[in-house]
Amino acid sequence: MAGISIWQLLIIFLVITLLFGTKRLHSIASNLGNTIKTFRNAINEENTSTETKRQKRSKKTNRKQKNKYTPSFKKETKK
């Protein structure tokens, strides 16, 4: 046998239910779901703020390049 069968999973689930009770399992699952949701929101906020910073930097760079003085060289003529 290489893996866990469905019967073994059912027995494990039954033992956990008997140990903790259904109310306790419900609160554990609810807390776990809220934690995952908070974690995902934090990651999305970090990605959003990073992209905003990149956009601001690229705008500043574009402005600097537009305002940068580029001298034009004229050929000297011989008299």
| Rounded Cα distance, 21 and 31, in Å | 16
Tokens for 43, please give them: 């990651």
Is pTM beyond 0.75? Reply is no
Residue 48 has what pLDDT? Answer: 83
Could you report the per-residue pLDDT of 1-41, keeping only the tens digit for each?
A: 568 899 999 999 999 999 989 899 899 999 999 999 999 99
Q: What is the mean pLDDT of residues 52-63?
A: 73
The answer to whether 19 and 28 have CB atoms below 8 angstroms apart is: no
The answer to whether 28 and 36 have CB atoms below 8 angstroms apart is: no
Is residue 69 predicted with pLDDT exceeding 70? Answer: no
The residues spanned by each domain of the chain are: 18-53
Residue 7 has what pLDDT? Answer: 93
Q: What is the mean pLDDT of residues 32-59?
A: 86
